[in-house]
Structure 1
Amino acid sequence: MLPSLSSMASRLRLRQLRLLICLDELGSIHKAADAMSITQPGATKALNEIESTLGAVLFERTSKGLEANDLGRCVLRYARLINTDLAHLREEMLGIMQGHGGRLSVGTIMGAVPMLVEGLARLREEQPDLSVTVVEDTSDRLLSLLDQGRLDVVICRTSVSRRPDAYDSRVRHQERLVLVANPEHALAGSEQLDLAQLADSRWVVFPVNMPMRLTLEREFREAGLNFPQYPIETSSTFTTLSLLRQDPGLLAVMPWDVARVAVEHGMLVQLPLQLRSRSEPYEVVTRRGVELSGPGRVLVDILTIDR
């Protein structure tokens, strides 16, 4: 039977988790014991203690050595997360003690990437020794990572959350949306377009219920048109750009701040369609009641000033 959380927390030790990682990487009790400077019987005893604590066998003995089973791979994933978090903790503490540097984890939706890149450039001018992790994802996933403490600051839309009051939001930035395509698209040279001319086209769109998808659906609905059938759905900027570059028949609606670089370098063209609907503004978001680190406060100030 799976032990309680309090039992696991009181009995598991960081050194044990490190042993699991060594066993997975080396596939041998003997090699893992050498890597951790302990005896082989000591490593065997430690593995037995871990499996006893968790109430499950984590490794199977095979012709290739020790291999993690399904439960073992699950435990290893979290062991590595904890090990990484500990390294980040030391790095951030060292930066604070030295009076500079530290660590910052930031999340952003696709449309806010240029805004974040500009902000991080200014931040690193002030704090060049700062380590920064950037995650690009959907608003829903970014808020989940923020809730878990995996991200310090996110740029997204809090309206997708069931509890938007759990966050502090600063500055609302309105995206300008544009229709883009491959320069070889059949309509690339058009002087004017309406949505009806594009209804039968093939589209790259955001997944269902995401704000950008809802905006495009509203555009079609208000024009009295059915939403395109069989679109390719993705929230990835790189995937969208790659698809448009590979297939001259595809269309996509993107934030202008994101599409501009590709358009200016001739990789994409903006088609002359006037979009009536406006996407929901995105925000600079932090967890309510959680004090930011020094670098986090500086970044928020940079992102919100003069906007």
Structure 2
Amino acid sequence: MIDKLEMFIALAREEHFGKAAEAMGVTQPTLSAAIKQLEDQLGVMLVWRGSRYRGLTPEGQRTLDWARRIVADSRALRDEMRMAREGLSGNLRIAVIPTALTLVADLTEGFARTHPNVRFSVLSRTSTEILSMIENLQVDAGLTYLDNEPLGRVTTQPIYAERYVLVARKGHPMLRAGLGWADLGGVPLCLLTPDMQNRRIISQHLSEAGVTVDPKVESSSTIVLISHVLRGDWATILPRKAAEIFLKDGDLQAVPIVNPDAAHVVGLIAPHREPMTPVLRALLAEARSLSDRGVD
């Protein structure tokens, strides 16, 4: 039954029989037959059918909650038994907000040194997508904001406080000490897109300082923002840690934005369930160690 529940979760996530079949690596008839068999076993209709997928029935929605728990517990059991045989191993999937991508190496380097048989898959996603992917068992953990928007039922481990800097080419007139949010009116800014929580945070601080948020360039990638800053009079606002990697060649400079000195907590989130998988217990322990060492 576990394989049928996994297909059912994929269908609920993709909301399309063909896409769900592709995600599961099976044919569409195979997936459709598995869903029908699951319905027969449970004695209820799970999916409203027509010429295409039309959503879950009330019984299907309730089954989805159970399916996520059962599949997660099944995977945890397999991980526990694999650890008993081989030690900590397998593939650890982590989804990360773009502004925390430079933190991943801090987290994975120490973890990999202690557990060399673990591989990592790192995905850049918005904070909303990270929560959805954890709920749908697509990733094992996430690096995201902990204190700005609701997280739901997850286990959290704070790692560092994100503080903000203005990044521009050396010599830019705004690169001065004591720079406040209110001073940024009229500065041609490159910012992340509004679906990013970092953008919502920055827009809030600018708005509270009386600055109209009207970026000249928007992108979901910090690389795109920095490439524009390097080519002209544009500037961008980034977390200090995210900016560090772009300051090494000397063409760019960053100054803290104060008044107020805003800070938001970033950390690790994982599904809230017991027992927790061995790999997640070890990852949370590494995140606590990273927090204790201080990475901000």
TM range (shorter): 0.5 to 0.7
- Which segment is superposed worse, 101-110 or 209-218? 209-218
- Show the counterpart of 1:203: 189
The answer on 1:239 being equivalent to 2:227 is no
Q: Deviations over 1:106-161 (max 9, x none)?
A: 12223333333112111111121211111122111111111111111111125676
Distance 2:29 2:256 in 1: 67
**Displacement of 1:177:** 0.9
Check 1:48–1:268 CA distance in 2 against 1; reply closer, same or farther (3 A cut): closer
TM-score for both structures, normalised by structure 1: 0.62
1:302 to 283, 286, 290: 286
Distance 2:112 2:268 in 1: 18
Letter in 2 for 1:152: D
2:253 to 247, 263, 269: 269
- Show the counterpart of 2:41: none
Does the aligned pair in 2 maintain the 1:95–1:102 contact within 8 Å? no
2:202 to 204, 216, 219: 216
- Which segment is superposed worse, 136-145 or 190-199? 190-199
Q: CA RMSD in A?
A: 3.8
Letter in 2 for 1:120: T
Structure 1 unaligned residues grouped into runs of 5+: 10-16, 25-45, 55-70, 72-88
**Displacement of 1:236:** 1.9
More strand by share: 2
The answer on 1:149 being equivalent to 2:142 is no
SS at match of 1:281: strand
Check 1:159–1:304 CA distance in 2 against 1; reply closer, same or farther (3 A cut): same
1:135 to 109, 116, 123: 123
Check 1:208–1:290 CA distance in 2 against 1; reply closer, same or farther (3 A cut): farther
Instruction: Mark the structure with the bigger radius of gyration.
Output: 1
Letter in 1 for 2:167: V
Distance 2:29 2:207 in 1: 61
Check 1:113–1:230 CA distance in 2 against 1; reply closer, same or farther (3 A cut): closer
Does the aligned pair in 1 maintain the 2:189–2:235 contact within 8 Å? yes
**Displacement of 1:231:** 3.1
**Displacement of 1:244:** 2.1
Distance 1:48 1:178 in 2: 50
Does the aligned pair in 1 maintain the 2:154–2:272 contact within 8 Å? yes
Distance 1:281 1:95 in 2: 32
- Show the counterpart of 2:269: 285
2:168 to 181, 193, 218: 181
Distance 2:192 2:263 in 1: 13
Letter in 2 for 1:233: E
2:240 to 256, 260, 279: 256
The answer on 1:168 being equivalent to 2:155 is yes
Q: Deviations over 1:56-113 (max 9, x none)?
A: xxxxxxxxxxxxxxx9xxxxxxxxxxxxxxxxx8x97867633342221112223333
Letter in 2 for 1:154: G
